[in-house]
Structure 1
Amino acid sequence: MAIDSSKWKDYSKIDPELEALLPHLPPIKSFADYSSAADLRQSTAEMLGQMVSSGVIKLADWAGFRKAELQIPTRDGSSIRAVVYGTESSAAETRGPLFVYFHGGGWTFGMPEYGETWAEKLVKELGFTVVSVGYRLAPEHVFPTAAHDGWNAVKWCAENASSIGADASKGFIVGGTSAGANVAIVAAHEAVDANLSPPVTGVVVSSACVCHHEAMPEAYKKHVTSWEEHKDGMILDRRGMNWFYDNYKPDPKSPLASPLLWSSHKKQPPTYLQVMGMDPMRDEALIYERVLHEEGVPTKLDVFPGIPHGGPDFLPMLSVAGKSLDGFKAGVEWIASQKA
Structure 2
Amino acid sequence: MATLDDPSTWPQWGIPDAQTIKMIEEEDVRVFPPVGLDSLPKLREAWSETIGNDAAEVLQAAGSEVVSDEIHVPLRDGTTSRTLLFKPSAKPADGSALVVLIHGGGFLIGTPEMEVPACVNAVKAYGCVCLSVGYRLAPESKYPTPYEDCWDVLQWTRSHAAELGADLSKGFVLGGTSAGGRMTGTLALWARDSNMQPPLTGLYLNATSLAYADAIPGPYRHLYRSHVEAEAREGRRAQKSKDTFEKALDPDIHSEVWNPLGWPTDHHGLPRTYLQVCGTDYHRDEALIFERILRLEHQIDTRVDVYPGMPHVFWFKFRNHPACKLFYKDTVAGLGWLLHLA
TM-score by structure 2 length?
0.89
Q: CA deviation at 1:33?
A: 4.7
CA distance 1:303–1:233, shift in 2 (3 Å): farther
TM-superposition CA deviations, 1:74-128 (whole Å, max 9, x none): 2223221101001235x69464110001001001111111111001111111111
| Alpha carbons 1:233, 1:278 under 8 Å: kept | no
Give the share of equivalent positions with the same residue, in percent.
32
CA distance 1:148–1:40, shift in 2 (3 Å): same
Q: CA deviation at 1:273?
A: 0.3
| Alpha carbons 1:81, 1:133 under 8 Å: kept | yes
**What is aligned with 2:57?**
58
Pick from 301, 304, 318: which aligns with 2:321? 318
The letter for the 2-side match of 1:261 is G
Query: Residues 119-130 of structure 1: matches in 2 within 5 Å?
Result: 119-130=119-130
CA distance 1:29–1:191, shift in 2 (3 Å): closer
Pick from 266, 269, 272: which aligns with 2:268? 266
| Alpha carbons 1:233, 1:308 under 8 Å: kept | no
The letter for the 2-side match of 1:113 is E
CA distance 1:278–1:23, shift in 2 (3 Å): same
CA distance 1:31–1:281, shift in 2 (3 Å): farther
Question: Separation in 2 of the partners of 1:43 and 1:213?
Answer: 33
TM-score by structure 1 length?
0.89
**What is aligned with 2:140?**
140
| Alpha carbons 2:202, 2:273 under 8 Å: kept | yes
Question: Separation in 1 of the partners of 2:286 and 2:238?
Answer: 15
| Alpha carbons 2:33, 2:43 under 8 Å: kept | no
Give yes or no for the alignment of 1:281 onto 2:280. Answer: no
The letter for the 2-side match of 1:128 is C
**Aligned residues, how many?**
332
Give yes or no for the alignment of 1:101 onto 2:101. Answer: yes
Question: Separation in 2 of the partners of 1:4 and 1:29?
Answer: 34
Question: After the TM superposition, which of the residue ranges 305-314 and 216-225 deviates more from structure 2?
Answer: 216-225
Give yes or no for the alignment of 1:290 onto 2:317. Answer: no
Give yes or no for the alignment of 1:171 onto 2:174. Answer: no
Q: CA deviation at 1:229?
A: 1.1
Query: Residues 1-340 of structure 1: matches in 2 within 5 Å?
Result: 4-25=6-27, 28=31, 31-33=34-36, 35-45=38-48, 47-48=50-51, 58-61=57-60, 62-64=62-64, 65-89=66-90, 93=93, 95-231=95-231, 233=234, 237-262=238-263, 263-293=265-295, 294-337=297-340
The letter for the 1-side match of 2:213 is H
Question: Separation in 1 of the partners of 2:124 and 2:154?
Answer: 22
- The two structures, once aligned, show a CA RMSD in angstroms of 2.6
| Alpha carbons 2:51, 2:114 under 8 Å: kept | no
TM-superposition CA deviations, 1:281-302 (whole Å, max 9, x none): 0111111111111222111111
The letter for the 1-side match of 2:268 is K
Question: Separation in 1 of the partners of 2:114 and 2:275?
Answer: 19
| Alpha carbons 2:81, 2:134 under 8 Å: kept | yes
| Alpha carbons 2:92, 2:127 under 8 Å: kept | no
CA distance 1:229–1:69, shift in 2 (3 Å): same
Question: Separation in 1 of the partners of 2:214 and 2:316?
Answer: 27
SS in 1 for 2:224: coil
CA distance 1:29–1:181, shift in 2 (3 Å): closer
Question: Separation in 1 of the partners of 2:132 and 2:94?
Answer: 20
Q: Higher helix proportion, which one?
A: 2
Q: CA deviation at 1:197?
A: 1.7
Structure 1, gaps ≥5 residues long: none
The letter for the 2-side match of 1:78 is T
The letter for the 1-side match of 2:211 is C
